[in-house]
Structure 1
Amino acid sequence: MNVKKQIFKGTLYAVVAGCMWGISGIFGQLFFRDYHGSPLWITSTRLTIAGIILLAMSFSRDHKRFFDVWKSKKNMPTLFLYVFGGVFSVQYFYYVAIQLSNSATATILQYTAPVFIMLYLLIFQRQVPKPKSVLFVILAMIGVFFVDYGRKYQTFINQSPSPCNRTSRWCSCCYLLNHPSAIIR
C-alpha cells in the first residue's frame, strides 16, 4: 500500500473514531437521562463487549501467540497501568462528566487532552512541537474559551464536571503515553 493511501486510511479512521466517540457520548447522555444508568455500568459493559470482540479477533488471527503477552511478569504493571489508568479511567470519567453536565461539554473538554500530552513531551522528553501543532492547540484553547465564556458574565459550560474532565484528560495522557505497543506486538 502506498504512503498516500495509508495516510488517507489513517485520517479516515481518526475522523470516524472521533465521530463515534462523540456519538457514544450522546447515547450515554440519553442512557443516563432516560434509564438512570451509572457510568460504571456503561463503561464496564462497553469495555467487556469490546474486549471479547478484540480477543476473539486476536485469537482467530494467531492463536499460537495469543497468551504471549502474559509470559513475562515484567509486562504486567505496564498492562495494568494502561488498562486501568488509561482505557478504563478515560471512559469512566468521561461518562461521569456527561452524567454531571452533558455530552457536548464533556466531549469539548475531553478533546483538550492533547495540550497536556504536548506539554508532557516538551517538558520531560524535550520534544519541541511542530508550529502547526502549537497553532492547533492555541485554536482549540480559544474555542474552548469562547464556548465557556462566550458572553460577558455568562458561561455556557456547566462547571460541575470540571474535576471529572480534568481526571479524564490526565487519564488520556496516561493512556496515550503509556501505550504498551512493544509488549502487544
Structure 2
Amino acid sequence: MLKGIFLIIGAATCWGMGGVAGQYLYQYHQADMIWLCMTRQILAGCMFLLFAAFVQKQDIFAILKADTWNIIEFSFLGILGAQLGFYYTIGLCNAATATVLQYMAPIYVMLWMSYKSRKIPDVRELIGIVGALVGVFLIATHGSLDSLAISPMALTIGVLSALSYAYYSIKPGQMLKKYTAATLIGWGQLISG
C-alpha cells in the first residue's frame, strides 16, 4: 500500500512539473504547444512499448490486430483530448488553472459510474463534487458573477480536457483485461502523437 501511495504522489508530481515546464516553454521560448505535446506523446509511446516488449515480454502488436478501433478511439478521444487539451489550456491561461480544470475529471467519472449503476453518489462524493465545482467557479470568476477571470476559451478547453481525461480513465476497462497498461498506453500515446 505504501508503494502505491508513493507512486501516486510521484505521478501527480511529474504531471504538475510537466505542466509548469510547458508553461515555461510557451512563455520564454515560444514553443509550439502542438509540437510539444506530440513530441512528448511519441517519445512516451515508444518508451512504454519498448518496456512492454522487452521487460514485460508482451506481444505489443496483438492489440492492433484484435482491438484496432478501440485503441484508435482511446488514442484520439481519450489521450489526445486530455493531453492536447491540457497543454492548450496552459497556453490560454496557466498551468495551475489548467490542472484544476482537468482534475474535474473524477467528477465526470463518478457521475458516469452513478448513471451506469443507477445509484446516487453518497454524501461524501456529493460533497466532493460540490467542493470541486465551487473551486472551479472561484478560479474561473475570482468570486465575481459579473465576469470571468480566465478566457471563455480557456474554460471551455479545460472542461473538454477534463471530459477527455474521464473518458481516458473509463474506456480502457475491457482492454486492460487483455493487454498490459504499458502496451495500451504505449500505443495510445504513439498513435495520438
TM-score by structure 1 length?
0.84
Matched ranges for 1:19-38 at <5 A: 19-38=13-32
* Change in CA separation of 1:155 and 1:30 when aligned onto 2, cut-off 3 Å: farther
Residue equivalent to 1:52: 46
1:176 paired residue among 166, 169, 175: 169
The one-letter amino acid of 2:132's match is A
1:95 equivalenced with 2:87 (yes/no): yes
1:106 equivalenced with 2:106 (yes/no): no
Instruction: Give the superposed CA RMSD.
Output: 2.2
Q: CA deviation at 1:94?
A: 0.7
* Change in CA separation of 1:183 and 1:155 when aligned onto 2, cut-off 3 Å: farther
Give the number of aligned pairs: 177
Contact 1:105-1:157 within 8 A present in 2 as well: no
1:164 equivalenced with 2:157 (yes/no): yes
Q: Unaligned stretches of 5+ in structure 2?
A: 181-193
Which moved further from structure 2: 7-16 or 161-170? 7-16
- Higher relative contact order (Cα pairs below 8 Å, separated by 6+ residues): 2
3-state SS in 1 of match to 2:121: coil
Alpha-carbon distance between aligned partners in 2 of 1:114 and 1:141, rounded to the nearest angstrom: 12
1:38-91 per-position Cα deviation (integer Å, ceiling 9, x unaligned):
22111111111111111111111244633222332xx11111111111112211
Residue equivalent to 2:184: none
Contact 2:141-2:147 within 8 A present in 1 as well: yes
Contact 1:122-1:129 within 8 A present in 2 as well: yes
State the structure with more CA Rg: 1
* Change in CA separation of 1:151 and 1:64 when aligned onto 2, cut-off 3 Å: closer
* Change in CA separation of 1:114 and 1:174 when aligned onto 2, cut-off 3 Å: same
Contact 2:142-2:148 within 8 A present in 1 as well: yes
Contact 2:77-2:164 within 8 A present in 1 as well: yes
3-state SS in 1 of match to 2:178: helix
* Change in CA separation of 1:60 and 1:34 when aligned onto 2, cut-off 3 Å: same
Alpha-carbon distance between aligned partners in 2 of 1:150 and 1:37, rounded to the nearest angstrom: 29
Matched ranges for 1:113-132 at <5 A: 113-132=105-124
Alpha-carbon distance between aligned partners in 1 of 2:58 and 2:109, rounded to the nearest angstrom: 36
Residue equivalent to 1:4: none
The one-letter amino acid of 2:30's match is H
Which moved further from structure 2: 85-94 or 119-128? 119-128
